[in-house]
Amino acid sequence: MTRTLNTKRGHTSRSGPTPVTDAWWHRLRDGGTAAVAGAFTLAQLALVRPGMGLGWDESVYVSQVSAHAPAAFFSAPRARGVPLLVAPVASWSSSTPLLRIYLALLSGLALFLALRAWHGLFSSRVLALGGALFASLWVTLFYGPQAMPNFWVAVGALAGVGCFLRAQADRARRGPVWGLAASGALMALMRPMDAVYVCLPLLAALVVVRRWWHWQLLVALAAGLVAGVGEWVVEAYVSHGGLVQRLADGSRIQGGLGWNLAVDDQMRSLAGRTLCRPCGGAMPNPAVFAWWFALPVLAVLALVIAARAGRTARTLVPLACAATAAFPYLFMIGYAAPRFLLPAYALLAIPVADALVYLVTAAPRAWRAAAVTLVALGLAGHLAVQFAVLEHTVRGSTAAHQGWARTAAALHRLGVRPPCLVTGDNGPPVAFYAGCASVDTGGHNANTTAAALTRTAQRTPVAILTADTSAPPSYARTWTSVRQEGLLIYLSPAVTRTSAHES
């Protein structure tokens, strides 16, 4: 390395970075993404109440590994990734706040690692802004600390695409190859079909585009997906009548996969409807979904910028993966949940951030202040809307979960205590809160028959939860009924005998 004389400062310097300056550069490079990940963790703890309680799907996932309640019925579309994720806490503690804190910390770390996979592909400020855009969405903050799979598919997709592009850029490095395998396994372990949709453009690029052929990447991606989906496939043959049957059951539970325009349903769900099924009613205020329509515009701008700069691939690949990840949830199911699109939002975040940075930095000097002001005002308004929707959603979810907890407490007072069974309206979450097993004789969660439940009710406390105006099932017409928490609860003979004995 050549040496030059710095006459202004009176000392010699090197024309390239020294090991010391290189180390400082790496620390500075990671500083922005680390700050974003840290702020994301703190925001979850501050805005998504740790004591919010578990939701319906969360109670099903957590019950698989919890000592607090028997495992709930695990329907065909579900995968075992979330139970494995929460097992280090849920297997020995029934504390929901502790579980939320654990998941908030883990999700912050996961976001940092996913953004780090992109270093060298975009500038540090683009990565930090992209991470902030994704992390500040209400749906990201809401689901980051929850025992749900979608956030983990999102960070797996973000990390996987980054590793794919880095491996293409430097084929001598093995780290990105291993990172791609791990990312594929994470996605498939959480939601197998989502993993396939995310990875379709990557597989197509490796097989179809000759200059992108990289057998190690193909093996790594395939091995990761197989490793993640392996348990799901085995379980299909053990418990669901085979892989084809499980896929058919999963499609039926989701309303039958086919051509279903759900774009408007997703727009309605952006107002904080965690599950929009059926998804009727008026559209929310346009301020709630304005950012949604800005995404494709900024994505196209990012692609144009990348093409002019001669780096099309690093923008085109995440956009293609975002499109395939979003496609089934926009056009193939008849309902909506905002969490379904988290992988697409994560993959769009970095190209969108690149477009925003370009709009500010490429503006003529005379217009730069105006450009910065407009972008800043737009982002500030966007954040205000996101936090308002988040607060509304957290408040509504907390109220619902507290209602389930009160119903569970009422069941305990009535004599429905473990070992016990709960069925009917909101059966799985109420059963989990009460420490009971949840059963159902019909619908997507059917795991018993009316005859079997009648026999069980003679020796085990059983509670049927129905709406206050609903008639009981035929086998429960002679059971004792009690009104609690806006519900009509039918108690089995075993409950009546137990209560009489205790009195």
Q: Each residue of 28-41: pLDDT tens digit?
A: 556 899 999 999 99
Cα Rg of the chain, angstroms = 26
Please check the confidence at residue 217 and state whether its pLDDT lies above 90.
yes
Identify whether residues 91 and 213 lie together within a single domain. Answer: yes
Q: Supply the pLDDT for residue 502.
A: 56
Q: End of a domain among 336, 362, 388?
A: 362
Identify whether residues 311 and 412 lie together within a single domain. Answer: no
Q: Supply the pLDDT for residue 497.
A: 62
Please check the confidence at residue 106 and state whether its pLDDT lies above 70.
yes
> Is 463 part of a structural domain of the chain?
yes
Q: Each residue of 281-299: pLDDT tens digit?
A: 889 999 999 999 999 999 9
Q: Supply the pLDDT for residue 258.
A: 85
Q: Supply the pLDDT for residue 171.
A: 85
| Per-residue pLDDT band at 499 (split at 50, 70, 90) | low
Average pLDDT over residues 129-154: 98
> DSSP state, 147?
S
| Cβ atoms of residues 262 and 340 within 8 Å | no
Identify whether residues 169 and 114 lie together within a single domain. Answer: yes
Domain that holds residue 131: 24-362
Region of poorest pLDDT, from 151-160, 173-182, 251-260: 251-260
> Is 5 part of a structural domain of the chain?
no
- Mean model confidence pLDDT for the chain: 90
Parallel, antiparallel or unpaired: strands 487-491 and 480-484 = antiparallel
Q: Each residue of 440-454: pLDDT tens digit?
A: 988 888 889 999 999
pTM score above 0.85: yes
Identify whether residues 105 and 168 lie together within a single domain. Answer: yes
In sequence order, the 6+-apart residues with CB closer than 8 A to the CB of 105 are 41
Q: Supply the pLDDT for residue 254.
A: 81
Identify whether residues 327 and 461 lie together within a single domain. Answer: no
CA distances from 479 to 221, 376, 446, 484, 497 (A): 56, 63, 22, 15, 12
| Per-residue pLDDT band at 4 (split at 50, 70, 90) | very low
| Per-residue pLDDT band at 467 (split at 50, 70, 90) | confident
Please check the confidence at residue 438 and state whether its pLDDT lies above 70.
yes
| Per-residue pLDDT band at 27 (split at 50, 70, 90) | low
Average pLDDT over residues 270-288: 90
Identify whether residues 256 and 349 lie together within a single domain. Answer: yes
Burial of 230 (0-12, 13-18, 19+ CB in 10 A): middle
| Cβ atoms of residues 138 and 43 within 8 Å | no
> Is 483 part of a structural domain of the chain?
yes
The total number of structural domains in the chain stands at 2
| Per-residue pLDDT band at 25 (split at 50, 70, 90) | very low
Please check the confidence at residue 174 and state whether its pLDDT lies above 50.
yes
3-state secondary structure (DSSP) of residue 82 = helix
In this predicted model, which residue has the larger pLDDT, 383 or 256?
383
> Is 208 part of a structural domain of the chain?
yes
Q: Each residue of 344-400: pLDDT tens digit?
A: 999 999 999 999 999 998 878 878 888 889 999 999 999 999 999 999 999 999 999
Residue 496 CB coordination number (10 Å): 15
